[in-house]
Amino acid sequence: MFDMATYLTERRKLIERALDAVLPPLSARPRNLHRAMRRSVLCGGKRLRAVMCLASAEASGGSANRAILPAAAVELLHAYTLIHDDLPCMDDDDTRRGKPSCHVVFGPALAILAGDALQALAFETAARCIPPPPYRPDAIVAELARAAGSRGVVGGQVDDLSADPRRATPRMLRSIHARKTAALFIAAVRMGAISAGASPAQLNALTSYAANFGLAFQIADDLADQGPSPKKRKRALDNSSCLLVYAASDARRLAEMLLSKAVRALAVLPGGQSRPLVELAGLVQSKLD
């Protein structure tokens, strides 16, 4: 019988070992840079995007071991985005995962450089996984680049920073969330699927799953930011919070609809192989309940 808790524990162990292996050791110079990189990547996190990468490879008939480098790459890229998001010139957050942010510990200059180095390491790691035919050798790297650049995370962050919350619309917020949040989930599933030699139908199904999942995930995150603490109140009023245009109950219903669409998209995949992806959607649903 499938047990999601066991699955997550096993896959996260694979991911942690891979991340530890690809990151420069603390003994390598410049030590302070490598300490900032390792702390930012290995200080915790659910590894949701990396798990999704492995699950997508398995759902496409491949193996987790085959997809472990793309999974590590997507986590490295995610860590870089978090370091830069927390900077005073960006979202100005002093804590990350319950600990002082990278720029608080190491200073803004080194934090920027640590993020830059993690992004470079992400591409180096992704480039080490060559997908099977008919995919081009650079197919996995191309997916990561698309998610990271001006059409993905960076473009979404630019629009987020320049957005006027008084003029927020559902369409504007969806555009920001599709790039700033969903793009990396899409890259994760596509990189995993490509590493397994997925068919076009499988790749399309997983892309639809991740696009809807990512939007729902962001809504759930915005809803979780409601609360009495000053930090939560600040985040609830962020330029791109869904609560600028939706009542909490309407946002919750929208997220539930998106999760339902995500799960339905998996219908073309064998039920047993797609079970972890269905369960991941269930984890987001549990945040809404």
Element (H, E) at 96: strand 95-96
CB 182 within 8 A of CB 214: yes
**Is pLDDT at 75 greater than 80 in this prediction?**
yes
Give the lowest-confidence range in 41-45, 53-57, 274-278. Answer: 41-45
Reference 53, options 71, 39, 38; nearest CA is: 71
CB 128 within 8 A of CB 69: yes
Q: Tell me the average pLDDT across 2-19.
A: 97
State how many domains the chain has.
Answer: 1
Q: Using CA of residue 118, residue 177, residue 145, residue 22, what is the dihedral sign? A: positive
Q: Which residues contact 85 (CB under 8 A, 6 or more apart)?
A: 91, 93, 157
Confidence of residue 234 (pLDDT cuts 50, 70, 90): low
Give the pLDDT band of residue 237 (cuts 50, 70, 90).
low
**CB-CB contact of 254 with 246 (8 Å):** yes
Three-class secondary structure of residue 95 per DSSP:
strand
Average per-residue pLDDT in the chain? 94
**Alpha-carbon span 289 to 285, nearest angstrom:** 7
Domain holding 273, by residue range, is 4-288
Amino acid at 95: T
Amino acid 239: pLDDT: 72
Helix (H, G, I), strand (E, B) or coil at 134: coil
**Tell me: the pLDDT tens digits for 165-213?**
989 999 999 999 999 999 999 999 999 999 999 999 999 999 999 999 9
In a 10 Å sphere around its CB, with 0-12 CB exposed, 13-18 middle and 19+ buried, how is residue 229 labelled? exposed
Tens of pLDDT, residues 88-130: 999 999 999 889 999 999 999 999 999 999 999 999 999 999 9
Q: What CATH number is associated with residue 22?
A: 1.10.600.10
Spatial contact of 201 and 153, defined as CB atoms under 8 Å apart: no
Between 183 and 230, whose confidence is greater? 183
Closest CA relative to residue 115, chosen from 143, 86, 141 = 86
Looking at residue 289, its pLDDT comes to 86
Using a pLDDT cut of 90, give the percent of the chain over it: 89
Give the separation between CA 246 and CA 223, rounded to whole angstroms. Answer: 11
pLDDT at 266 over 70: yes
Distant-in-sequence, close-in-space partners of 281: CB < 8 Å, separation ≥ 6: 213, 216, 259, 262, 263
Distances (CA, A) of 44 to 10, 27, 60, 79: 16, 21, 28, 11
Tell me the average pLDDT across 40-63.
96
> Structure pTM?
0.94
| pLDDT one-digit tens code per residue, 15-29 | 999 999 999 999 999
Residues contacting 234, CB < 8 A, separation 6+: none
- Look up tokens 């200059």; give the residue: 109
For residue 231, is pLDDT > 90? no
pLDDT digits (tens, 9 = 90+) for 254-263: 999 999 999 9
